[in-house]
Amino acid sequence: MQILKLGGSVITHKDEYFSPHTENIKRLAQEISATKKPLIIVHGAGSFGHPVAKKYNISDGLKTSEQLVGFSETHQSMTRLNQIIVDTLLEAGVPAFGISASSMLVTKNRRLVDIDMSIIKGCLKLGLVPVMYGDAVLDTEQGFAILSGDQLIVRLAIDLEAERIIFGSDVDGIYTANPKLDPNAKLIELVSLSHITAEVGGATNTDVTGGMLGKLKEAEEAVEAGAEVVFLNANAENRVKTALLGEKVMGTLLTL
């Protein structure tokens, strides 16, 4: 089983609120459909979840009752994006099935503790492709929190013994600096966990869950558990498809 992250910068126009990148979503649905392999898709929030979560300061937890509307609005914006993605996958013939993280798990101080994998396992057994997302979730200590898709993926990969995690973003992989800001930034083809302190560029937009460095830190555990972790540019045609087929692709491979 493989896990594919579709980053918010790929599936939404990040600088325009609530704007899905329809063209990319359609192309990626075709690429996924062409591979026909056991898969879980987790998508990010982009211009759907992040601006709402930021406006109401959801990641720091419940402080005032006015935030409750914002908590639910954040979740609603994500279910809308999920619906667009699942509908597009279905049109491409992928047996996609949308699942909300907030209905099956809680966090403790923003970290995922217990998650019941039975629904996801059941979906995979039937041949369905679960489509999950970073979500506004209940938190045992701070009332609520934002669970990033990246944290969710790593947990899924460990518990379900995923063969490979593919992080699709809008850059070619992990760079020595943020490639959108620094013209001297260089792509690192192989990142070893022992050198993870290397300078890695942050996100350029409103990202409440940590950008590229956050992804890298989350991914450590999955590599230690034996999953192959690849970072690639999902905006470039056929890279996701190539990686899903297990073939060599331009990007960054994370190793021990």
**Site membership for ligand IP8, residue 45 (CB under 6 A):** yes
From CA 65, how far away is CA 147, in angstroms rounded? Answer: 20
Close Cβ partners of 20 (under 8 Å, ≥ 6 residues apart): 11, 12, 13, 48, 81, 84
- Among 50, 110, 239, 241, which residue interacts with ligand IP8 (rule: CB under 6 A)? 50
Closest residue by Cα to residue 152 from 188, 109, 196, 117: 117
Instruction: Using DSSP, state whether 155 is helix, strand or coil.
Output: helix
Least distance from ligand IP8 to the Cβ atom of residue 48, Å: 8
Piece in contact with ligand IP8 (CB under 6 A), picked from 61-69, 83-91, 97-105, 143-151: 143-151
**Site membership for ligand IP8, residue 44 (CB under 6 A):** yes
Cβ–Cβ < 8 Å for 196, 219: no
Instruction: Return the number of other C-beta atoms located less than 10 Å from residue 115's C-beta.
Output: 16
From CA 255, how far away is CA 226, in angstroms rounded? Answer: 9
**Site membership for ligand IP8, residue 148 (CB under 6 A):** yes
Least distance from ligand IP8 to the Cβ atom of residue 107, Å: 12
Closest residue by Cα to residue 58 from 47, 69, 42, 43: 69
**Residue where the block lists tokens 């396992």:** 121
Structure tokens at 81: 């994006």
- Among 14, 31, 97, 135, which residue interacts with ligand IP8 (rule: CB under 6 A)? 135
Least distance from ligand IP8 to the Cβ atom of residue 54, Å: 8
- Among 11, 25, 78, 94, which residue interacts with ligand IP8 (rule: CB under 6 A)? 78
Close Cβ partners of 9 (under 8 Å, ≥ 6 residues apart): 44, 46, 169, 170, 205
- Complex with ligand IP8: residue 88 or 209, whichever CB lies closer: 209
**Site membership for ligand IP8, residue 20 (CB under 6 A):** no
- Complex with ligand IP8: residue 78 or 154, whichever CB lies closer: 78
**Site membership for ligand IP8, residue 8 (CB under 6 A):** yes
With CB under 6 A, what is the number of residues at the site for ligand IP8? 17
Least distance from ligand IP8 to the Cβ atom of residue 211, Å: 9
Cβ–Cβ < 8 Å for 201, 181: yes
**Site membership for ligand IP8, residue 209 (CB under 6 A):** yes
Nearest residue to ligand IP8 on Cβ basis: 134
Side-chain-facing half-sphere of 75: CA atoms under 13 Å: 15
Residues that bind ligand IP8 (CB under 6 A): 8, 44-45, 49-50, 53, 74, 78, 134-136, 146, 148-150, 208-209
